[in-house]
Structure 1
Amino acid sequence: MQSKAKIVIADDEKEIRDVVSMLLTGEGYEVAAAADGREALELADPSVDLYILDVNMPEMTGFAAAAEIRKTCYAPILFLTAYSGESDKMMGFSAGGDDYLVKPFSNVELLLRVRAHLRRVKEYAPADGHTILYKDLTLDLRSQSVRKGNELIVLTYTEYQILKLFLEHRGKIFSMENIYQSVWEDEPVGDGSIMTHIKNLRKKLKDDSRNPQYIKTAWGKGYYVE
């Protein structure tokens, strides 16, 4: 029997916690609720399949909690935020987030995002333990981790999938639309979000955007790895 997907929801507004928890439980998910970022950290472990974190919480913000969760956990992180500005989105991606949902949101929209992220996790789960090697990078498909030499590079779920996509299709130029279709599937995001993920990925790999060794830019066309 297939186990239920486990989701952690953290929001300092009890009404939102209760509504989201009831909604997800009704869909058959196992749900653990937290009132702030610190409680979310206490609930974090490898058994969690998805984190839904409010950005503005007392004790510890969603961004701060995400940064700590990312040190040991790989599951996708969806932020709930009252702000939709590009700077807020960039902060969220930099903190380790994979997606964001602006309040107020509909129950249908939340469920669509949750299903999409959980489906991606399941579909991209490797069946064996082989690796992908490129220069000094090693992608372990079993642990879904990345190393540069002997250094472990902590990536978000989305950053890992983008890098994996490039390395599995070396030489192919991926346009924004290609990346949408391959990584987000039916959950498109704006060009600015893709560019932010690429920027953060390059930064973590210490890849100079002016003279990149890994992810190269085909001006006006997209990105690729040689």
Structure 2
Amino acid sequence: MANTGIARYKLLLIEDDRPMAEAMKGLLLQWGFQVVICENFDHIMEQYGAAEPHIVLMDINIPAYDGFYWCKKIREVSSVPIVFVSSRESSMDIVMAINNGGDDYIQKPFDPHVLVAKLQAIIRRTYEYRTTDQHVLACGDILLNLNDAAIHCGNESIELTRNEFKIMRILMERKGRVVSREQLMKQLWDDDCYVNENTLTVNLNRLRKRLEDIGAPDYIRTKKGMGYIIP
């Protein structure tokens, strides 16, 4: 039975055994996940960027390089959860999977219920960061109050401007994923008027300075040529 709370989460499946990939997709769709199957193993990073998944499910043995290599490449730009699913069973494979940035390792053949339970647990740990007060977002040491647009870090707090608040909310809700400048501009100024890109830069620089003042330097990271991320 599908878990409707999972429905907003997208999964990128990197599996070169097509019948296995389709079977896994069918299972995960039943549980409410959105599923994108990798189609080109020479361009995994491009497909990762296009899909913007909340979680990656990856085999080790794939045609181009291997899963360890692509896990490291993804880790260069994102802290998105990565779960290995492989028929390889040596303890060294598990160690390498974790050491290269993987979050979990599931051996084939697997119990479908175990796979789903593990994915749900990782998503809860990674993305269910809302407190019992649904008007607050929390990522790391930062709390964002959605009612009054105030940021709290330890004993320090500041009130954000309209644009600063929008930027923080977008990045916190997409924690671990890169948000492009184009996406931010569309969210901030989604109308017919022309807005100079420098306006976004000014807003981001001011927000970073304010975060630094309350003890959160480098909270918003720049991924050159890609956009911004809260890791």
Identity score, percent? 25
For 2:44 and 2:23, locate their aligned partners in 1 and report how far apart those are by CA, in whole Å: 17
Task: Indicate which of 118, 127, 143 corresponds to 1:122.
Answer: 127
* 2:17 is aligned with 1:42: no
Corresponding position of 1:78: 83
Whole-Å separation in 1 of the counterparts to 2:120 and 2:152: 27
CA offset digits 1:68-114 (Å, max 9, x no partner): 11111221000012223221111111211000000111211111111
Matches of 2:106 and 2:40, distance apart in 1: 18
Q: Secondary structure at the match of 2:128?
A: helix
Which residue type is aligned with residue 4 of structure 1?
Answer: R
Check the 8 A contact 1:37/1:62 in 2, yes or no: no
Q: Is 1:8 aligned to 2:12, yes or no?
A: yes
Larger Rg: 2
Moved over 4 A (4+): 129-132, 141-145
1:23 aligns with 2:27: yes
In structure 2, what is the equivalent of residue 33 of structure 1?
A: 37
Question: What amino acid sits opposite 1:29 in the alignment?
Answer: F
TM-score by length of 1: 0.54
What RMSD, in angstroms, separates the aligned Cα atoms of the two structures?
3.4
TM-score, length of structure 2 as denominator length: 0.53
Shift of 1:20: 0.6
Aligned CA distance change for structure 1 residues 108 and 71 (closer, same or farther; 3 Å): same
1:55 is matched with which residue? 60
Q: Secondary structure at the match of 1:32?
A: strand
SS in 1 for 2:37: strand
Q: Map residues 76-225 of structure 1 onto 2, 5 A cutoff.
A: 76-124=81-129, 126=138, 127-128=143-144, 142=172
Unaligned runs of at least 5 residues, structure 1: 133-140, 153-226
The answer as to whether partners of 1:11 and 1:35 remain within 8 angstroms in 2 is no
Which whole-Å deviations, capped at 9, do the CAs of 1:154-186 have from their partners, x for residues lacking one?
xxxxxxxxxxxxxxxxxxxxxxxxxxxxxxxxx
- Once residues 37 and 44 of structure 1 are traced to their aligned partners in structure 2, the CA distance between those partners, rounded to angstroms, is 11
Count of matched residue positions in the alignment of Structure 1 and Structure 2: 145
Pair 97,130 (structure 1): closer, same or farther in 2 beyond 3 Å: farther
